[in-house]
Amino acid sequence: MRNNDGIQTIRAELETGIQLAKCKKCGCMEETLDNLSTLVPTVGTEEAQTLARDIETWAKTMEPVRYACLGCDYCYPAVAQNAFASAFPSVGHSPALSCDFQVSNGSWPAVVGEYFVVDKTATVAVSTLASISLAEDLAQRKPQGLAIVGKTETENIGIDKVIKNVVTSSTLRHLIVAGIDPKGHRTGNTLLALAANGVDENRRVIGASGKRPILRNVTAAEIQAFRTQVQVIDMIGCENLDQISARIEELSQQPTTACGCSECGVTSPVSISTAPKIVATEPSQVVKMDRAGYFVIVPLADKGVIVVEHYAYDNTLLRVIEGANARALYATLIANGWVTELSHAAYLGKELAKAELSIKLGFQYVQDGA
């Protein structure tokens, strides 16, 4: 890709994505704008400088991030960042999101996620990538040899979870990668590249074309165990239940000798790294007094709005805020600095959500004591 073509592609993708409500609240877009705001000016051309100024403008229109990634079928920021990497390979790679997930100790699957366990003793796992309904359809069909099936929508955290669930199984020998590969993220492509090439010293999957194929939540030992334990089968693009089921049954009939032993066909599960697990406890004090005052929430079902009255602690009414939904009200309170304590913010989020539901579902709202 020529440099000018690369700049034009980046601009087209970001201009389209920044118009979408979901992108304005997505960590993918926020981090892409942040990364490119640093990288694009280093290109040095007039077109790049103009794009850098536009990126700065687009960044100002972003809303508070609500999710790190939605795993969209087409990811505009991912395509834009891939275009930059292709056009300017010497500039280097941008960092990946630093995210984590919950590991379950003492049971399998080891990682909490959205998947279907069919037979824990079977030898075949299936990733359906971005084809979410395909996972449920396969689970309902229950082809012989299917152990677990689920989506894998991102090329970093999603694959981290796949690796941990594979290496903590003593029987898995095959991983079928089927379904539609998410554009931009290229999760399926990343899984195939991982199996073929492994990772570099930064745990970036060698040869992967996804946006951020960096595996931050698995160790080098876990990655090596995964590559040794399972054969990755390329069925990317296939959503045909009959074809996938037939392949599962075929693979399940193969001898299981991946452990290096010619007879037993099993391995010892790998001990995986985990993040600290914190058990939530009831607070001794529910809400800390907020120097900015307190709020009275009044849902008006007939008008379809929620009224929030903001009082000082001498009971002086400071202001009245009206909104159609909890999100708009919460964002307004935070943006204006009318909430200064974390516990108070959490309390307001809960109460505003209750008030909104009371309007939608028709029950009487009663505000809990603050």
What is 243-306 written as a DSSP string? HHHHHHHHHHTS---TTS-SS----PPPPPP----------SSSSPPPTT-EEEEEEETTTTEE
Report residue 102's pLDDT band, with 50, 70 and 90 as the boundaries. low
The helix (H) or strand (E) run that includes residue 178 is strand 174-179
186 and 152 housed in the same domain:
yes
Contact 74, 184 (CB under 8 A): yes
> What is the token pair recorded at 342?
């974390």
Q: Are residues 157 and 203 in the same domain?
A: yes
Pair (203, 123) in one structural domain: yes
Alpha carbon of 351 to those of 42, 63, 66, 359: distances in Å?
A: 47, 22, 19, 13
What mean pLDDT do residues 226-249 have? 96
Same domain, 119 and 239: yes
Please state the domain count of the chain. Answer: 3
More confident site: 98 or 219? 219
For residue 72, give both structure tokens: 């969209």
Read off the CATH number of the domain in which 172 is found: 3.40.50
Q: What angle do CA 185, 188, 194 make, to 5 degrees?
A: 100
In a domain, 122, yes or no: yes
- The string over 215-229, giving b where at least 16 C-beta atoms fall within 10 Å of a residue's C-beta and e elsewhere, is bbbbeeebbebbbeb
Place of tokens 């007879």: 263
Claim to verify: residue 36 and residue 84 sit in the same structural domain? yes
pLDDT of residue 261: 42
87 with 154, same domain? no
Q: What is the dihedral of CA 68, 136, 188, 120, to 10 degrees?
A: 100
Q: 53-67, 234-248, 267-281, 356-370: which has the highest mean pLDDT? A: 234-248
Query: Which residue segment(s) compose the domain that 335 sits in?
Result: 294-361
**Residue-averaged pLDDT of the chain:** 84
Do 222 and 134 share a domain, yes or no?
yes
Residue 265 within a domain: no
pTM of the predicted model as reported, rounded to 2 decimal places: 0.59
Peptide bond into 95 cis (omega under 30): no
* Whether the Cβ atoms of residue 223 and residue 215 lie closer than 8 Å to each other: yes
Contact (Cβ atoms closer than 8 angstroms) between residue 293 and residue 313? yes
Range 53-81 average pLDDT: 80
E strand or H helix that includes residue 81: helix 76-87
Do 154 and 195 share a domain, yes or no?
Answer: yes
Cβ neighbors of 347 (< 8 A, separation 6 or more) are 286, 287, 368, 370
Give 258-293 pLDDT, tens digit per residue: 443 434 444 556 667 776 766 766 665 555 678 888
Check whether residue 183 and residue 232 sit in a common domain: yes
